[in-house]
Structure formats: C-alpha cells, structure tokens
Structure 1
Amino acid sequence: MYLPVRLFVSILFLLGSGSGSTIPSITKPSQPLPLIIWHGLGDNYAAEGLAYVGELANETNPGTYVYNIRLDEDPGSDRTATFFGNVTEQLAQVCDTLATHPILSLAPAVNAIGFSQGGQFLRGYVERCNNPPVRNLVTFGSQHNGIADFQACAPTDWLCKGAMALLKVNTWSNYVQSRLVPAQYYRSCNISTGEPTPEYIENSNFLADINNERVLKNTKYAANIAGLNKFVMYLFRDDTTVIPKESGWFAQVTNLTSGVVTPLRNRTIYKEDWLGLKKLDEKGGLVFRETEGGHMKLSDELLIKVFKDFFGPVEEKGKKVEDMLMQDGEGSEEL
C-alpha cells in the first residue's frame, strides 16, 4: 500500500497544487521550503502557541508547509514524551517519520526551528540523519552545551515535579539516562575549570554524543553541521530557566559562581572543529543573536524577522534550490 500512495503524492507534486488542493507545490521557484518545528519541554505539538507560529510563518512566506514534530498523535502523550523517554530512540523515530513523510520526503530541503530543548534535538537530527536535509536551522534558548542545573517547575505541574525529583536521584544511572529527557542533556563540569566530568563523558545518553565530546569523533556529525547554509542561535538575555543561559551559544561557563564565560570560538570544540561549527563559521553560516526577555519570550516582530531573513523562498535569479544548499550566506555575527 505504501509505494502507490507515495507515487500518487509524487505525481501531485510534479503537477503542482491544483485548485482547492491542500498539498503544496514545492517545485515552484517562488515556493518556500517546508518548515519543521520541534517544541520544548512541557509543550505539545498541537498547542495553540505553536499553531500560531505556523500561521505567522505562512503569512510571512505564503505557501509554507509547516510540520510540528510530534512523538505521539495524542497531545497529552506528546507532552509526556518531553519529560520521559529515551532521546536517542525518540530522535530515531523522528528521523524515520520525516524520511517517509509524504510531503517532507519529497522536498529538496527543509528549514527548521527549535524551541528550547527542541533546538538541540533538531541539531541531533541534522547530525544523525538529515533526511530531508535542513537548509537553515534556527534555535531559541536551546541547551547546546547542556545544562548545569534542572529547571524549576510550576507549582501544580506534577509531571514536571516528578521528573525533576527523579533526575536528582542518580543522574548518571542507566535507568535515568534512558528514561528522563532533561537528564540526557545535563552536563556536569569541574566547578573551577568548566571541563566535563568523566561521569558525563562516559554515561551521557545524548549530549556527549551529539557534541562529539568523546575520544572517537563522528565525522558525519561535523560534515552535516558544516553543510548547513545557516545555523542561527538565539539567546534570551534574561533567561533564568536555562542554566547557564550561555549554553544557547555553545559557550561554556567556567565557574557558575563567578559567571566567567568561555565563548564558543575560544573552546576546543570549535578550535578542533569537532562539530563542523568552525567550517560553517568560516563560510559565514554561524550566527549568534540575542533577544531581550526571559526564556521563550517571543514577539511577533522577532518571529517575522526570522521568517523573512531565513525561511523565505531560496531560489533567486535562476539559481536552483539544490545549488543554494551549500552556498555561503551573509557574514556571521556575535552580540
């Protein structure tokens, strides 16, 4: 049954979207690439806020096909999966879903936006599978260099409270690392040097791997990140949820008490290019941006600017989408 259905959808794409069709034509020169969105901790794919973001993306770039990543079609179960689950298995599920999606799988590329933990998960998608390939990746308040402490929960959010209580019991046990989502991007460090502890390097189920921090480096990860057109990292100036907030820029806080920060470009992960970030930076594809306010405080103006700057139609002056996937962009910036 699968192949005929996919063939039917492929024919519709080649013909273009007809009158009243809900299937977009991504073969038109002016058609924006599809946009995939991965939400954060405690959210779900069907939330009103995410629906509004999708509508705003379509208003800004008409014809944008928006797909909200989900781990379960039931919104409640999808929210639970942001707290409980094996991130490696969850990511494999998303990779399979996107690679076989009747619309996304036919796109020459997609754009992606990750909110909070959804940002490092999307980066993991780029590194591990990237099918369909991501052209521009934008993350907001994401924990790219991990967290040094677990976030506070709302007084009545018992799901969050239960998860955070369990996380603090034995962070590096196989039980916690295979079941508790935030534990899998927790990064314990030496309090005076900021360097990761042996427990983290050895037992981290997710972050130590996608950050290529172990002795054996995965060259595919670096190649896929370097192959992005743009990787844009937004940091919230007044963020008190992500600890430290500088994790959103891959920076390392050498001492949480003194607040001394080592920027990404001064770190070994960049200098030795474990992740392809240096190569991406050298072609102008690595962008550091800061926005005012607390964690996930997003204005319409900011989102519209992001959609205009990074998610508009990619074919310009006769250039094909495929030719532009590896094209250098504007210069990088750091605030």
Structure 2
Amino acid sequence: MISLAIVSLFVSAGVGVVATPTRRPLPLVIWHGLGDRYDSAGIKSVGNLAQEVHPGTFVHSIYLDEDSDADRSATFFGQVDEQIATVCSQLSTIPELSSGFNAIGFSQGGQFLRGYVQRCNSPPVKTLITFGSQHNGIADFLAECKPTDFICRTASSALLSSKWTPWVQNRVVPAQYFRDPEDLDAYLEHSAFLADINNERPGKRNKTYADNLASLERFVMLMFEDDTTVVPKESAWFAELNRTTGERTLVEDRELYKQDWIGLKELGDRKQLEFLTTPGRHMELSDELLTDLFKKYLGGKVSGEKVESWVQDVEL
C-alpha cells in the first residue's frame, strides 16, 4: 500500500494524479402545486426530508418567478406552454442536474413535470413521482379559495364562466387542463395544453412525447383516496370517470394507453409504471409516507464532478 508520504512526494514532484468520479445521490427537482410557492415552508420541508433520507442530495425547487408572491400568482395565471419552456431553460443551466435527476410534482406540478419530460427532458428525468396530479384533467374546479384570495377567486370565476374562450385558455392555468369526458369535442378544439400533451388530437400526435416519457426509469402516480379537490380524483392515474353513470375506465382500457399515445404502455410493459393510493384528502401527506416513498424510489447514484484522487498514473 502506498503511504501518504510517497503520494505527497509524487504530487510535489509534479506527477499527475488521476481524476476519478465521485458517487452521490441523484438530484431531486420539485414542482409545487396550485396556490403554493417554490420557497414555501412545506416545499422546503420536503426537500429537507429528501436530504435526510439520502444525505448529499441536491434539491432544486422550480420557480416561475424568484419573487415568492409572483411565483404563486403564476400557478393561477400564465400560459402553461410558456411556463414549461421556461422550466426547460431553467433546468438546463443547473450544473448539478446535468447527468439527470429524480422529480416529484405536487398536484398540477405533476402534469407540468410530465410536460417537461415529454417536450424537452434535457437534462433527463430518471424517476417521476406525482401526487394527486390531474393527468387526465379536471371536469370541475373546486379549489378552496379564501375570501381575501382574489387571485384564486378570479381564476375560479374565469374558468367556470368562460373556460373555452381564447383569453381564458391562454391565461388561466387550471383552464388549460380542464377536460370533461362528456364535452370532448369542445376540449379537443380549444384545450391549450392538456389535449396536446396527452396526444389526444387525431393526426397531430407527437411521437417525441411518447419516446421521451417511455425513457423514464420509473413513473409513479399517487392518488388520494378521499380527494374532493381533483374532480375526478382518478385523473391522478389517467383514469376516466363518467360522472353521470359513475363508470370508471382505467387507463389500461383507454385508447391513450392501448395505442400508446404518450409512452405509458411501453412503461407498463416494462413494469416501470406504478399506481399508488394513500388515505386522506388532496395533498394530505405525512412525513412517514414521504420517507417511505423516498427510500423506495429516490436516491439512485450518479457520477459526480471529477475530483483529485490519491491514485497516481505512474507505475512504481
């Protein structure tokens, strides 16, 4: 075994040392939900918990504006296509993410992260976990707006009164993932985001969307059993609910899956698609649940920056 003194001698004599990669947990990217902020106490606690479970994890919370209030406003008002393009640019400039990362999306942040994967995915997502996300849209908007929360109340009023107008579809975020199975013609004609990202328009399907989503190592979707905010709650699993008859169509029985419009079937065939449930209402998450999920799905290793090693490149 080479002693430290001998190694130091080689270094002082100008003998080169070999750069070897370190190993660290995969970074984690978080996209928060409607009415939340990228720097809220809840989002910070999730990042801290991930670092406790997998020490050394680099955590990035996606923001649409560095001003906290403006970032919250952007969850209600903005063009989702532009927001995802902004995030594609944002993540591409972060060196720690360059080799890939895991991602978790809360509520609407989940389908938006999926939009990131399908549209750019550079750097690539390895495991995507979504919590109560509206992957198959919402057929009603039941956000609980406080009396003094004028941003929330304005968005709600605009969506419920004129959801298919160009002004609302290009400005009100929840309207852009509104989808009523009993009004599909209007949805396919006017939807500014979801109909595209779900590849539902005949003749306009983007193969890149399917290829990119199928590149995930794992796609985990969690549904809240008592969710009354997301209507229908089954949207979290890409399932479809006929609210008139109560009939539920699982994703495996939908054409979106059977024809593999967005890569879900390929993931399913490879056993890389998981559907989870948890008791509770929308976004009622315990540290115990998150800890279990983080232990099971996050923390894979990635080669890090090159660092100096005590191994020399000369024969002794």
Partner of 2:230: 242
Give the alignment partner of residue 167 of structure 1, picking from 136, 156, 159: 159
2-structure distance, mates of 1:217, 1:314: 35
SS of residue matched to 1:197: helix
Letter in 2 for 1:142: S
For 1:331, the equivalent position in structure 2 comes to none
**Sequence identity of aligned pairs in percent?**
55
| Residue 264 (structure 1) aligned to one of 248, 251, 254 | 251
For 1:99 and 1:290, the matched residues in 2 are separated by 32
1:276-315 aligned at under 5 Å gives the runs: 276-314=263-301
> What SS class does the counterpart of residue 275 from structure 1 fall into?
coil
CA distance in 2, matches of 1:96, 1:15: 30
In structure 2, the residue matched to 1:120 is 111
Post-superposition Cα deviations, 1:241-284, rounded to whole Å, max 9, x if no partner, equal 0000000000001x213321000001110000001100111111
Contact 2:181 2:240 in 1 (8 A): no
Match of 2:168 in 1: 176
**Offset, 1:155:** 3.0
Runs of at least 5 residues in structure 2 that lack an aligned partner in the other structure: 1-17, 305-316
Q: Which residue does the alignment assign to 1:185?
A: 177
Any residues of structure 2 matched to 1:72-91 within 5 Å, and which? 72-91=65-84
2:46: which partner in 1?
Answer: 53
Residues 77, 262 of structure 1: alpha-carbon distance in 2 compared, 3 angstrom cutoff: same
User: How far did residue 15 of structure 1 move?
Assistant: 7.2
Q: Which amino acid aligns with 1:303?
A: L
Tell whether 2:245 aligns with 1:252.
no
Q: Structure 2 CA distance, aligned partners of 1:152 and 1:137? A: 25
Higher relative contact order (CA closer than 8 Å, sequence separation 6+): 2
CA distance in 1, matches of 2:145, 2:192: 27
TM-score (norm 1): 0.82
Aligned partner (choices 52, 65, 68) of residue 61 of structure 2: 68
Residues of 2 paired with 1:89 and 1:178: CA distance?
Answer: 10
Specify the SS of the correspondent of 2:248: strand
Work out the CA distance in 2 between the residues paired with 1:295 and 1:138.
15
What is the DSSP-based 3-state SS (H/G/I as helix, E as strand, rest coil) of the residue aligned with 2:299?
A: coil
**What is the SS of the residue equivalent to 2:154?**
helix
Shift in Å, 1:189: 2.2
For residues 145 and 78 of structure 2, the distance between their equivalents in structure 1, rounded to whole angstroms, comes to: 21
SS in 1 for 2:161: coil
Which residue, out of 133, 140, 144, partners 1:142? Answer: 133
Residue 145 (structure 2) aligns with: 154
Equivalent in 30, 50, 55 of residue 37 of structure 1? 30
AA matched with 2:205: K
The corresponding residue for 1:94 is 87
Structure 2 CA distance for aligned equivalents of residues 44 and 310 of structure 1 = 25
- Return the index of the structure with the highest Cα Rg: 2
SS of structure 2 residue aligned to 1:233: strand
After superposition, the C-alpha distances for 1:283-319 in whole angstroms (9 at most, x for unaligned) are 110000000000000011110111111112346xxxx
* Deviations 1:70-104, CA, capped at 9 Å, x for gaps: 00000000000000000000110000111122332
- The residue that corresponds to 2:314 in the other structure is none
> 1: CA distance between counterparts of 2:284 and 2:156?
23
Q: CA deviation at 1:213?
A: 0.2
Who is 2:216 aligned against?
228
Cα distance change on mapping 1:15 and 1:181 into 2, 3 Å: farther
Partners of 1:183 and 1:117 lie apart in 2 by: 12
Q: Kindly provide the CA deviation profile for residues 33-64 of structure 1, in whole angstroms up to 9, marking residues without a partner as x.
A: 11000000000001001000000000000000
Question: Is the strand fraction higher in 1 or 2?
Answer: 2
Rate the CA distance shift 1:153–1:219 in 2: closer, same or farther, 3 A. Answer: same
Q: 1:35 to 1:197 in 2, by over 3 A?
A: same
Q: State the alpha-carbon separation in 2 of the partners of residues 259 and 121 from structure 1.
A: 28
